[in-house]
Amino acid sequence: MPSNTQTETAFSQRVLRWFDRHGRKDLPWQRDISPYRVWLSEIMLQQTQVSTVIPYYQRMINAYPDVQTLAKAPLDEILHQWTGLGYYARARNLHKTAQIISAEFDGVFPDSVEQLQTLPGIGRSTAGAICAIAYHRHCSILDGNVKRVLARHHAIAGWPGKAAVSKQLWDIAEHNTPPQRTADYTQAIMDLGATLCTRSKPACTQCPVNSDCQALKQDETQLYPGKKARKVLPIRQTLLLIIRNKKRKILLQQRPPSGLWGGLWSFPECANEAELVTTCQRFGINIKKYQLADTLRHTFSHFHLDYTPVYIDTQNSVTRIADSNQRWVEPTAHGEIGLPAPILALLHKLKP
């Protein structure tokens, strides 16, 4: 951690000067700033690039212009808006937090880091961003982009997920955050990491703090921040049952609210081909014929999912189901429900 206050001040001043000249100031969440809009954007930007988030954010803010509207919306509808963005726990936490803010805080976001962190899905950095940008409090952030900038600038070795490394970076972040223009600095340091101090091929010659960047001096920017030790990801296997009735409709089943693809709609599953008949019978389905397709892979953060689509034609014509967690849908007109990207892709391949 730097010990020279003058150096720390110079760092923030250089970042702010760069931001004033070159920073992005017209991103959708930088307009009409409010705690709600900052919170929504910060959650959506977690582990997701700005270019990917922009169209999703615009759809979300149009559908749910304030926290009360979001709180009242059905989770199914929110998950539908989120389809394709991934990390669906973020959407579920958005809904939970919106309901808490609406019911317990009269629709007003808390203005302290401590209170904000008690809400689902809001960590220290997101809380700091809300307080700094929306409430102009002297609070710091440490998202992925900022970790990269500070780890390189100070040559902080080790994976930021480790407690000791995280503490070092938080200490530096707090020392660098200026008491004036905190909101601008917060957006500036995130922007610096997103546009110049990128994971690969950082634009060091354009960086406003390159003169004392320790990683650059050592010509070792690629070493910072340290990476998490790689583990061999386990592989899970499943059969996805694409059941089609006489009316060419497809059976979907809503997954449990937590866990893999929590709350989203998917095809019924079974472990292997030997279980096909009994699994279908639980849905009142009699198999006329079926065909196994090629196995595909979808990788999550902790495992690979190898899934084999099984195309099943049934002798059933029924399209009404008493169970609200099941429904028959048209492949191209499945309604506004949340669908994981692999399931949506398989639906799109089906002919009506």
| Residues noted as catalytic | 42
Distance CA 69, CA 62 (A): 11
Amino acid at 29: W
Task: Tell me the torsion sign for CA atoms 112, 113, 115, 116.
Answer: positive
Q: Is 302 helix (H, G, I), strand (E, B) or coil?
A: coil
| Angle at which helices 75-82 and 50-63 cross, to 10° | 150
What is the CA angle 315-316-318, rounded to 5?
Answer: 165
Distance CA 173, CA 167 (A): 10
The answer to whether the peptide bond before residue 225 is cis (omega within 30 degrees of 0) is: yes
CB 30 within 8 Å of CB 191? no
**Long-range contact list for 28-35, CB < 8 A, 24+ apart?**
28/54, 28/57, 28/58, 28/61, 29/57, 30/187, 33/133, 33/134, 34/134, 35/108, 35/109, 35/111, 35/130, 35/134, 35/135
Distance CA 48, CA 85 (A): 8
Distance CA 128, CA 112 (A): 8
Q: Is 243 helix (H, G, I), strand (E, B) or coil?
A: strand
> Residue 101 corresponds to which tokens in the numbers above?
């803010």
DSSP state, 271?
S
Amino acid at 271: A
Distance CA 69, CA 94 (A): 12
CB 277 within 8 Å of CB 287? yes
